Amino acid sequence: MNPGILYALCAYVIWGMFPIYFKSLQEIPPMEVLMYRMVWALAFLAIVLSVRKQWAWLGPVLRRPKVLMGFTASALLLSSNWFLYIWAVNQDRVVDASLGYFMTPLVNVLLGSVILKERLRMLQWMAVGMAALGVLWLTWQSGHPPWISLMIGITFGMYGLLRKTASLGTLEGLSLETMLLFPLAVISLLFMTYQGAHGFGDASTTTKLLMIASGPITAIPLLMFAAAARLVPLSTMGLMQYITPSLQLVAGIWLYNEPFGGARLIGFAAIWIALIFYTIDGLWSTYGRAKNPCEIKLKN
């Protein structure tokens, strides 16, 4: 078995279990959870970089303002996505959050067309159109757009776009992002403490330990994902990425009894059909063209 498959499976399952983890931190306000997550993630990443003696990249990066600006933007998008997700879980909106991550691949396609000027193929246009119908249906049924899902999908899609063009690897990039966010986190925590907010200090021992664990819980699946991306075909990773929102959706419905009636199911079904179009297009572009007789002739 390709070890990359195992790495990817572990990463996606860990991300899929995030609703259970963040539900266990409900006694701490979402903003405070976010700030402590930044702090503990940086602490864990610093240990990893020290063990691997992998600090040489930092000096040259600090002398490149454009790179720092790019990673500042990606860090703000990542922290926004984290906060939206933590808030959604605490507000019993796990199903809405899962829809956001179902929509992310389609957001990526749209961003590629608008920002990178990539030409969309027919099935990609069909996927975007079907997703738009799903969003319009959910908007009509609820009286307002699915803002949580849209913002989670857009922030993560924009983050992925910036990281796609970034000059650093996953470990170095995430480390730099948490370094840039660290001063903001510390200042915010000091201000919260000054204002009398002591969520972490007043929490139970179990909650404190779970909060400290946010460092490895944040970094480890990302490192597994990066290792898998080097070993597993992109098409396979594309199929496996739906494990995460599927597990989150199941958790929202079966563990936390969030509503998922017929009208909502129709909107989700439109997004799922869009993802089928997107997946077929990805598989065809990867494998279908390789069966072109001209290519086979050249190989022979």
User: pLDDT, tens digit, for every residue of 217-238?
Assistant: 998 998 888 888 778 876 677 7
Q: What's the pLDDT score for residue 4?
A: 84
Contact 277, 123 (CB under 8 A): yes
Q: Residue 299 corresponds to which tokens in the numbers above?
A: 């190989």
Q: What's the pLDDT score for residue 164?
A: 76
Q: What's the pLDDT score for residue 76?
A: 94
How distant, in Å, are the alpha carbons of 89, 151, 266 from that of 129? 29, 19, 15
Instruction: Please state the rounded mean pLDDT for residues 22-49.
Output: 92
| CA 90 – CA 93 distance, rounded (Å) | 7
Q: What's the pLDDT score for residue 16?
A: 94
In 10 A of CB 58, how many CB atoms?
Answer: 14
| pLDDT 10s digits, 91-128 | 999 999 999 999 988 888 888 888 878 788 898 899 98
Reduced to 3 states, what is the DSSP secondary structure of residue 145?
coil
List CB contacts of 264: < 8 A, sequence separation 6 or more.
Answer: 95, 138, 141
Q: Residue 288 corresponds to which tokens in the numbers above?
A: 């279908």
How distant, in Å, are the alpha carbons of 10, 18, 134, 264, 273 from that of 107? 24, 22, 13, 20, 15
| pLDDT 10s digits, 198-215 | 788 888 899 999 999 999
Q: What's the pLDDT score for residue 9?
A: 93
3 has pLDDT over 60? yes
Q: What's the pLDDT score for residue 150?
A: 93
How distant, in Å, are the alpha carbons of 105, 112, 278 from that of 151? 14, 17, 21
Mean pLDDT of the chain: 87
Chain CA centroid to CA 77, Å: 11
Chain CA centroid to CA 149, Å: 12
298 has pLDDT over 70? no
Q: What's the pLDDT score for residue 292?
A: 52
Reduced to 3 states, what is the DSSP secondary structure of residue 32?
helix
Q: What's the pLDDT score for residue 288?
A: 66
Phi, psi of 250 (to 5 degrees): -60, -40
145 has pLDDT over 80? yes
Alpha-carbon dihedral sign for residues 280, 285, 290, 292 = positive
With CA atoms as reference, report the closest residue to 226 among 179, 172, 181, 279: 172
| CA 5 – CA 65 distance, rounded (Å) | 37
Q: What's the pLDDT score for residue 291?
A: 53
| CA 224 – CA 13 distance, rounded (Å) | 11
Q: Where are the alpha helices (DSSP H) in the chain?
A: 3-16, 18-23, 30-51, 58-62, 65-90, 94-114, 122-142, 147-164, 170-194, 199-202, 205-212, 214-231, 234-240, 243-250, 262-283, 293-299
Whole-model pTM?
0.88
List CB contacts of 223: < 8 A, sequence separation 6 or more.
Answer: 48, 170, 171
Q: What's the pLDDT score for residue 289?
A: 58
Q: What's the pLDDT score for residue 113?
A: 84
188 has pLDDT over 60? yes
